[in-house]
Amino acid sequence: MFVYSMLCLSAVLYALPFLFSEYLWWLIFFFPIPLLYSTRTNNLSFIHGYVWGCAVFALHLSGGVYVIACMAHEAWLLGVVIGIVMILYQALVPAVLFWCVTQTVQKFSLQSTLIRLCMWTAALWLFIMWTDWYSMWIFGVREGYPLMHPLIPLAQKPALLLLLPIVGKLFFTILFLLIPAGCVAFLWYKNYRALLFFCSAVVPFIFCWWVGQLDMQQLPWHKVMKSLPYMVCSTVNNPIVVVKIVGNQLRKIIEQYPQTEVIIMPESAFNVSNFADFPELVQLWNHECLGKAIHLVFGAARWHDGNYYNSLHWVYNGVLQDCYDKHHAMLMSERLSPWMNNNVMRQIYFNRGSPIAVSSHERTKLALFENVRFIPYICSELFFSELPNDEYGNIPIVVVVNDSLFLGSYCSSYIQKLLVLLARYKAIQWQRDIVYVSYAQSLFIDTHGMTQAM
């Protein structure tokens, strides 16, 4: 019973910094302690690992299961079943890792508690990296679930991530795990050597905190970019109604902020597709109608070469300049995995639209200012990319996000806050300034993870 209590405590401590990130982010340093502490006198089995994994994924994926169920509408029970199956599947990996470590300890008769501590810490590191990079491969794409990496809550205090772009995620995750491992070693041995090890593990983060307290750098384009977090739907199937509604909103922004040169709207801001087919309507956003020539960037779907894309559109002075099609399709909301792609699932999740095609076209540049170019990313493209999916160095990024599914209920609204934290984390990891526009928040994020409202 003691072991299971410690495993459940570890799972809860792992989840709380994500569920209540504003206040409990610091608990992320503590979640490995109950797990590692219990390994001194107990051999954790496959069942122990499976119980811990089920608890961890049930807490972390609760918001995702809620959204999948809501998307299924009347068939919500099927969405719940899919979510439960996903949790049970994901829990197999920590179960196998627990079994492998225990078998290794028993086979080689490892008696040293320090070696056991190192092995269990390494197993935890493998679990974190597997979840972050590969855990979703069963759904047809080699990718993981990035909203469970323990470094993400630290973006609440971005100074702590100062060394991330220098040493990389792999090594920085090891540095992170050394803190709870050092704490456990001190609890076990209670001697000066263990205390020295723990203090040494804490030093890199103290250093980051000490030298990383910086103010956000003000850039010239901060003052002339605004956002319109607005979803425009036409119930009469008349695009001109949508265009006029947006035109009224644009005029209000320009009247209130005359210096505005760029206005950005989120992903899927329009339910009107194929703006390229309505050049005369887009003219309603020119300087004569708005009082000023501006750049407008927004998300809307389009058909191109027989494929249905989730796209970013760039309009200047009432003329469509370019379209960029998304390179990544989100599971369930934009695509189904091959083994789920049947008539029943399509009828439930895509009865009101078509699955999104994945583009392989070159990522375009947005020439929004004379001397500054921006690289567009659409929602999950940013979140599910370990490295930048472009070759443009330190050019700023504009990311448009559809977080509307996560608004309205705390069962899933915490995910919206995690997306902002992940964007701040990416800005530090990639050393790229990010313009982040969603329905809930619009922010400038600099390379230090500092934010400023648009």
Residue 402 is part of which domain span? 220-453
User: What is the spatial distance between Cα 87 and Cα 11, in angstroms, rounded to a whole number?
Assistant: 14
Last residue of a domain, one of 211, 246, 271: 211
Please indicate, yes or no, whether residues 201 and 240 belong to a single structural domain of this protein.
no
Amino acid 232: pLDDT: 85
Please indicate, yes or no, whether residues 278 and 197 belong to a single structural domain of this protein.
no
Please indicate, yes or no, whether residues 193 and 303 belong to a single structural domain of this protein.
no
User: What is the spatial distance between Cα 193 and Cα 191, in angstroms, rounded to a whole number?
Assistant: 6
C-alpha closest to that of 117 among 3, 194, 206, 200: 194
CATH code: domain of residue 287: 3.60.110.10
Please indicate, yes or no, whether residues 113 and 170 belong to a single structural domain of this protein.
yes
Is residue 237 scored above 80 in pLDDT? Answer: no
Last residue of a domain, one of 211, 232, 264: 211
Amino acid 409: pLDDT: 76
Nearest-5° angle of CA 284, CA 290, CA 296?
75
In a 10 Å sphere around its CB, with 0-12 CB exposed, 13-18 middle and 19+ buried, how is residue 1 labelled? Answer: exposed
Number of domains in the chain: 2
Q: List strands edge to edge, sheet with 225-227.
A: 225-227, 262-264, 295-304, 307-316, 319-325
Please indicate, yes or no, whether residues 175 and 314 belong to a single structural domain of this protein.
no
Average pLDDT estimate for 366-378:
94
Average pLDDT estimate for 340-355:
89
pLDDT band for position 160 (cuts 50, 70, 90): very high
- The pTM (predicted TM-score) of the whole model is 0.95
Please indicate, yes or no, whether residues 280 and 360 belong to a single structural domain of this protein.
yes
Please indicate, yes or no, whether residues 54 and 190 belong to a single structural domain of this protein.
yes
Please indicate, yes or no, whether residues 310 and 346 belong to a single structural domain of this protein.
yes
Amino acid 42: pLDDT: 87
